[in-house]
Structure 1
């Protein structure tokens, strides 16, 4: 059935514009940057307010299980409070009732988020008012138990996605720790299996990196071991879905952890795809690096993925260097320093162009060490890519299930949920 949100919500909490001048206390003060997943309970910046400040400023405190929705800035970010907390004016708080499952509402508003963004964009300053939310018409199943079942079903998928993310974070930390130990601290195993530098291994000064590296190691320009291909410097083609194969990677597809996120693909026509892949079509082991925006952000193309690259992205294809080792060099201090040296500081924005990328040096250890490292980390990388692919499939399934469950085209009984758990 269709109802107005004000018919099932007991309170719409709109925070004040004023920010506390003094922080301290035990009530978290949260911002949009603190939202990292479905639930919100802490301020990542450790900003808290006291009950005295709340009284003095007449602040509103969101009770537990309030649905937060960003009504300005990045409209459509949602979270459910798991502790009483305060926020700035970016959020509106929707306090539930016995007529609606707040987790069902969370999934529903996530699904229609793009529509709400369009509604806000008609104003000079995008903003969704309390009045907008009060009059917002939503679809809810006829009974609370059906809402509960829908929310529980989707929560099971989210729990699996969250577990995969945690495993991926641990795997990423493992590879970074090993890389740091071998190629930053230079305590890779020597011929006797002991840590090289700590055991007195000889170090020599390298003029390109302006620091010492192990004897018999060298540096070489990235152009000596890789093929570098710039993006097409043409007007961005129109979004046009013709086939699943024809899309261009955008900056948003490059995750901070180096994986590729294909939840939002920028599809183009076959003709545009062929034009934008005339220089290169990225595939397994290629590295993509951003030229502007998040300057120097990198990701590695996973196994069997084939796509084009959009604007402000450069493709690097490893040729005579181990691909996973090469990708991980971008997380090392040497490459980060070089990227900083070769980034152009413009009046309005910074950029890392292809000329700057071609000036980069990569450290080449002895072949045996490079190969040994590659053999250790490649299976870990493959596992991370598999988990990321699973998450994409689970996300697609979740997004497909929501309208089907909502319209009762598919039903889930409580006993079925218990069996799955």
Structure 2
């Protein structure tokens, strides 16, 4: 680690330097909340017309290219990223600490990789759990007070190039998947909203029903007791809401037993291509199961009836996300839509023949999406295994020409 030196982060970067003032009188704002970015991937940006809608009180922080946004609440949920481009009039939540580096000393991408290391994330989360606030949280000063070993700027840039090659491939796969999903959504719109293949008229044999009518069974998940160690570490993936954010398929490495034993009633295992819908907290997220899986109690899952298209139901559930969110409010600020309410939501059920024809077109799209997601997991695992070794100086890359 020759040439490396210890720095206090607050001495080589600045935090929360620029904020929006109502005196600037913007007509609109593009707003990023903390829950809408995870592991440097933005799910959505909210457009707010200030002339007609109230700007959220937390929509205040300004960012620039290479600003790092790092959620101060529950760091282990990994709501952080580095801003590369953004729309005009862009603000982020005050729930983020916005970090800008002195680029002559500390490469912003290098710092982002440092701050995303699991060991450092867990260290910040441990600080958060000692806070006296309502939720485990850190302050900007906690990030500023971090002392880190860094190499000279040339080595930082080489490390960024090595890790960046993997991230570029991951990003390309994500963009391909987004394009494939947009095509599937366009086909859904044409077939099941505009009735384009049917001369613009809904076929007479389609029926008005409910989600229960689509399902062989609707299952609300359950988290097994943490007091029984043998419930954990087995072969059945266990899906939670963080696994659903921004993913068509909920692919997770967390494993639980397929049944929980006599003292805790077992929940049925979901077959592949079941449709998971989040119904508590962050409601309206939709994913497919990549293999036999289970979920926690925040998710209602649809096992389709025999012959019914999982892909049709998946795309249908996406269109119902606002309805699901509104139904779950029930006068409370916390969304909580139970299985009975969920099952009674009105839907249209096309004929099995039409769903089969639709599947023949979109099935290859969804299969490609799953393959790309699985490749991204392997690429991320490779990147994350290299990350601590490169950041600690374990691998000498000074002579590598990149």
Shorter-chain TM range is 0.7 to 0.9
Correspondences of 1:7-406 after superposition (within 5 Å) = 9-15=11-17, 19-23=20-24, 32=33, 38=40, 45=47, 65=66, 67-70=67-70, 72-73=72-73, 75=75, 77-80=80-83, 90-111=96-117, 112-125=120-133, 128-129=138-139, 131-141=141-151, 143-188=152-197, 190=198, 196-197=199-200, 201=201, 213-231=202-220, 237=226, 243=233, 245-256=235-246, 258-262=248-252, 265-268=253-256, 272=260, 278-302=266-290, 305-320=291-306, 321-332=308-319, 339=324, 343=328, 345-347=330-332, 349-406=334-391
In the superposition, relative to structure 1, how do residues 222 and 129 fare at CA in structure 2: closer, same or farther (>3 Å)?
closer
Counterpart Cα distance in 2 of 1:7 and 1:379:
48
Change (3 A) 1:161 1:256: closer
Contact in 1 for aligned 2:180/2:369 (Cα 8 Å): yes
The DSSP-based 3-state class of the residue aligned with 2:370 is helix
Bigger drift between 169-178 and 114-123 goes to 114-123
RMSD: 4.1
Cα shift at 1:20: 0.4
Q: Offset of 1:223 from its aligned partner?
A: 4.0
Q: Deviations over 1:190-222 (max 9, x none)?
A: 4xxxxx11xxx4xxxxxxxxxxx4323223454
Query: Does the 8 Å contact 2:16/2:98 carry over to 1?
Result: yes
Structure whose CA Rg is larger: 1
Matched residue of 1:161: which SS?
helix
How far apart, in 2, do the equivalents of 1:64 and 1:341 lie?
A: 36
Distance, in Å, in 1 between the alignment partners of 2:325 and 2:91 is 38
2: CA distance, partners of 1:328 / 1:105 = 38
**SS of the residue aligned with 1:114?**
helix
Deviates more, 1:153-162 or 1:122-131: 122-131
Q: Count residues with an aligned counterpart.
A: 375
The Cα of 1:313 is off from its aligned counterpart by 1.9
Q: Distance in 1 between matches of 2:218 and 2:37?
A: 36
SS in 2 for 1:219: strand
Sort the Cα spacing of 1:244 and 1:279 in 2 relative to 1 into closer, same or farther, 3 A: closer
Q: 1:407 to 1:228 in 2, by over 3 A?
A: same
Gaps of 5+ in 1: 49-58, 191-195, 202-212
Helix, strand or coil at the partner of 2:283: coil
Bigger Cα displacement from structure 2, 72-81 vs 109-118 = 72-81
What TM-score, normalized by structure 2, do the two folds share?
Answer: 0.76
Residue 6 of structure 1 aligns with which residue?
A: 8
Q: Partners of 1:352 and 1:151 in 2: how far apart?
A: 44
SS in 2 for 1:245: strand
